């Protein structure tokens, strides 16, 4: 069985600076996979490359077994990869509803209105304020909208970059519960997190990215127990 | 009193033409932060293209029927303007999209000179103002009022009507349609718009094309109202429209229209009533611009900063 997403020896450079040197990992259908690692390890760059915002320098990205490294961002989304970016990046001057409509921009089927209702069911606070500008919402509510917006394209693979960043513990818990809920509904998830403990606890598989390389990998619970991981990322000596 | 009303009407007509051009400036700036200085020349080319449609394309028997001639001239003017703007975007601006902002700005100035000189050299007789056909829509409505005579031509009414209708249609399109949402998304955050599946090139080309179509139509209306076209008007009206867009707040449709009308009115009223007359009318326009920018740098209806959620 081929993995849904497979990244092989990826390297990405901004000019002369190599942000990602040799990253390899695979995401199986139906799994939650997380990439953990410190600031500047290359996790965000990896996601931005998968979604087509940046071109890889070398290496291969396969989605459903087919290379997508040379495709434009909109073609990659059309194939079923949605990216919920770091810092949420909502369209702050547009309403909740318009943000969700943009999430469904590539869809031409009739089900958009129904899926929008599903987002409102999942996050009732959005449904109550759908005509308000996204920029007026709290951090947690914005993260809900960002996830809802990414789901509107009906992705096969949802990539979430730091969904818990800047959120209260309660909000973080809610977002992680939502991620698990989305998985149970059949969405495959690639998660980038600095909150390694929470991310690994949730994940079927984890990869540690360090200085642009994948250095460790394993099932989430095994990595959680790994002494090197605990020392480096969980703040234990 | 009659003079005042007459000048108000003249100002509104001039303002309507400026507003139509300013819409293109403001839309293009909104989406790629480029002041497209060649946009005034697109308006001028639209005027010449519609004249060429009349002179070389229309069969003689149609020329006296304004309801046949005018729409076809508008289509001719707008079409040439759109093709020109699309070529301009593709070959002059797109290669520079990630260059420092000065580079596309200078390029725009270069494109503007090329267009103006090309028309002057190659359009028959364009070294001087070329008379525009006035065999149609020259009906004047005049009323005796306030101890004088106030006249408004059908071309003036048409100019004002087209400008207002154009702005309302455009505003509706941008705020309601799927492509309008894509344009706003690209303007706010190009990378995230790409993550939504918006094709930035297609969105930007569409923006240029809409702006050019409006400028082309403004060219036709200018021609039938002022009864000539001149290679110089591109630069002059380009400056007016640029000022209108800045005054209203670059990126704002409403701002461009109100800025356009404001400039038209100031020019005609200041020319009539302020010391110095028409020799100083441009001075007042730019004084107003400076005053607005001192107290409200984002313009009347502009967004103060990029708001990023």
ipTM: 0.93
User: Minimal Cα distance from B198: which residue of A?
Assistant: A74
Report DSSP state, residue B91: I
> Which of A73, A94, A135 lies at the smallest CB-CB distance from B195?
A73
CB A176 within 8 A of CB A198: yes
Query: Measured between beta carbons, which residues in chain B are less than 8 angstroms from residue A47?
Result: none
Tell if the CB–CB gap between A77 and B197 is shorter than 8 Å.
Answer: yes
A66 touching B (Cβ < 8 Å): no
Q: Which candidate, B27, B32, B33, places its Cα nearest to that of B252?
A: B27
pLDDT in tens, A87-107: 999 999 999 999 999 999 999
Residue A51: closest CA among chain B residues belongs to which residue?
B195
pLDDT attached to residue A146: 97
Residue A154: CB atoms within 10 Å: 16
Backbone angles phi, psi at B29, to 5 degrees: -65, -45
Q: Does B189 touch chain A (CB under 8 A)?
A: yes
CB contacts of A74 in chain B (<8 Å) are: 194, 197-199
Tokens of A132: 């308000």
Quickly tell me which residue has 């990414």 as its tokens. Answer: A150
pLDDT digits (tens, 9 = 90+) for B97-155: 989 989 999 999 999 999 999 999 999 988 899 999 875 667 788 888 777 788 888 89
Rounded Cα–Cα distance for residues B94 and A57 (Å): 23
The DSSP bridge pattern shows strands A157-161 and A81-84 to be parallel
Quick: pLDDT tens for B223-281.
Answer: 999 999 999 999 999 999 999 999 999 889 999 999 999 999 999 999 999 888 888 88
Instruction: Tell if the CB–CB gap between A93 and B184 is shorter than 8 Å.
Output: yes
Distance from CA of B169 to the nearest CA of A (A): 19
d(CA B293, CA B22): 17
Q: Is A14 on the interface with B (CB under 8 A)?
A: no
Dist. CA A237–CA A233, nearest whole Å: 10
B201 CB near a chain A CB, below 8 Å? Answer: no
Buried b (16+ CB within 10 A) or exposed e, A70-107: ebebbebbeebbbbbbbbbbbbbbbbbbbbbbbbbbbb
3 state DSSP class of A22: strand
Distance CA A20, CA A4 (A): 21
A12: which strand partners? A20
Is the pLDDT at B1 greater than 90, yes or no? Answer: no
Q: Which helix (H) or strand (E) holds B217?
A: helix B200-226
- The residue whose two tokens read 């002057």 is B120
Rounded to an integer, the average pLDDT of A177-204 is 93
Looking at residue B279, its pLDDT comes to: 86
Query: Quick check: A90 and A142 in contact, CB under 8 A?
Result: yes
Residue A90 sits at the chain B interface (C-beta within 8 Å): yes
Q: How many of the other CB atoms lie within 10 Å of CB of B193?
A: 27
Quick: pLDDT tens for A20-36: 999 999 999 999 999 99
The answer to whether B221 contacts chain A (CB < 8 Å) is no
Do A24 and A214 contact (CB within 8 A), yes or no? yes
Query: What is the pLDDT at residue A196?
Result: 87
Q: Which of A74, A103, A134 sits opposite B194 (nearest CB)?
A: A74
Nearest CB to B194; choose among A73, A90, A101? A73
The domains found in chain B, sorted by start residue, are 2-295 (1.10.3470)
A 140-199 near B (Cβ less than 8 A)? 142, 149, 153
Q: What is the pTM of this model?
A: 0.91
The answer to whether the CB of A59 falls within 8 A of the CB of A10 is yes
Q: Considering chain A, what percentage of its residues have pLDDT values greater than 90?
A: 81
What long-range pairs does B169-177 form, CB within 8 A, spacing at least 24? Answer: B170/B23, B170/B210, B170/B214, B170/B253, B171/B253, B171/B254, B174/B253
pLDDT of residue A98: 97
Tokens 């998304």 -> residue: B185
Nearest chain A residue to B188 by CA distance is A91
Chain A CB within 8 Å of residue B296 CB: no
The residue written with tokens 């693979």 in the block is A157
B230 in Cβ contact with B129 (< 8 Å): yes
B305 touches A at CB < 8 Å: no
CB contact under 8 A, A82 and B182: no
**Taking a C-beta distance cutoff of 8 angstroms, is the pair B38, B239 a contact?**
no
E strand residue ranges, chain B: 130-131, 140-145, 148-153, 228-229
Q: Which of A55, A91, A143 to probe by mutation at the B interface, max B CB count within 10 Å?
A: A91
DSSP string, B3-42: HHHHHHHHHHHHHHHHHHHHHHHHHHHHHH----TTHHHH
If pLDDT is split at 50, 70 and 90, which confidence band does B307 have? very low
């Amino acid at each position: 069985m081929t993995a849904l997403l497979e990244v092989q020896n990826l390297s990405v450079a901004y000019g002369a600076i190599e942000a990602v040197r040799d990253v390899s990992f695979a995401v199986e259908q139906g799994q939650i996979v997380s990439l953990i690692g410190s600031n500047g390890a290359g996790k965000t760059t990896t996601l931005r490359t998968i979604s087509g915002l940046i071109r890889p320098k070398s290496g291969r990205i396969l989605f459903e077994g087919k290379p997508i490294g040379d495709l434009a961002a909109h073609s990659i989304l059309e194939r079923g990869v949605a990216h919920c970016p770091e810092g949420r990046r909502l369209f702050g001057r547009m309403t909740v509803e318009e943000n969700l409509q943009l999430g469904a921009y590539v869809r031409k089927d009739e089900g958009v209105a129904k899926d929008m209702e599903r987002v409102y069911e999942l996050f009732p606070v959005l449904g109550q304020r759908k005509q308000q500008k996204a920029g007026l919402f709290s951090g947690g509510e914005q993260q809900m909208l960002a996830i809802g917006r990414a789901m509107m394209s009906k992705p096969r693979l949802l990539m979430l970059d730091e969904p818990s960043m800047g959120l209260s513990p309660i909000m973080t818990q809610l977002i992680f519960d939502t991620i698990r809920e989305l998985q149970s509904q059949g969405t495959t998830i690639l998660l980038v997190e600095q909150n390694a403990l929470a991310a690994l606890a949730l994940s079927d598989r984890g990869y540690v990215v360090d200085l642009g390389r994948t250095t460790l990998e394993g099932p989430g619970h095994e990595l959680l127990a790994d002494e090197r991981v605990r020392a480096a990322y969980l703040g234990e000596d | 009193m009659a003079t005042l009303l007459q000048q108000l009407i003249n100002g509104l007509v001039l303002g309507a033409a400026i507003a139509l051009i300013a819409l293109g400036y403001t839309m293009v700036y909104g989406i790629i932060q480029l002041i497209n200085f060649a946009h005034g020349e697109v308006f001028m080319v639209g005027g010449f293209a519609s004249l060429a449609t009349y002179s070389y394309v229309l069969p003689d028997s149609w020329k006296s029927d304004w309801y046949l001639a005018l729409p076809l001239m508008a289509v001719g003017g707008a079409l040439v303007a759109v093709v020109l703007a699309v070529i301009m975007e593709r070959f002059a601006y797109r290669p520079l999209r990630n260059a420092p902002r000065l580079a596309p700005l200078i390029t725009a100035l270069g494109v503007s000179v090329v267009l103006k000189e090309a028309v002057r050299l190659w359009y028959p007789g364009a070294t001087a103002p070329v008379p525009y056909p006035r065999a149609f829509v020259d009906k004047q409505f005049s009323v005796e009022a306030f101890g004088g005579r106030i006249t408004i031509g059908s071309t003036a009414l048409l100019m004002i009507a087209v400008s207002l209708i154009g702005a309302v249609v455009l505003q509706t399109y941008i705020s309601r349609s799927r492509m309008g949402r894509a344009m706003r998304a690209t303007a706010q955050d190009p990378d995230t718009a790409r993550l939504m599946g918006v094709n930035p090139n297609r969105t930007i080309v569409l923006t240029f094309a809409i702006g050019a179509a409006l400028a082309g139509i403004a060219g036709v209306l200018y021609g039938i109202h002022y009864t000539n076209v001149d290679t110089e008007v591109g630069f002059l009206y380009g400056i007016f429209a640029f000022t209108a867009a800045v005054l209203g707040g670059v990126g704002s449709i409403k701002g461009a229209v109100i800025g356009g009308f404001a400039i038209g009115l100031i020019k005609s009223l200041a020319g009539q009533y302020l010391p110095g007359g028409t020799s100083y009318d441009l001075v007042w326009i730019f004084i107003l611009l400076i005053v607005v920018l001192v107290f409200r740098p984002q313009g009347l209806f502009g967004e103060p900063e990029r708001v990023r959620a």
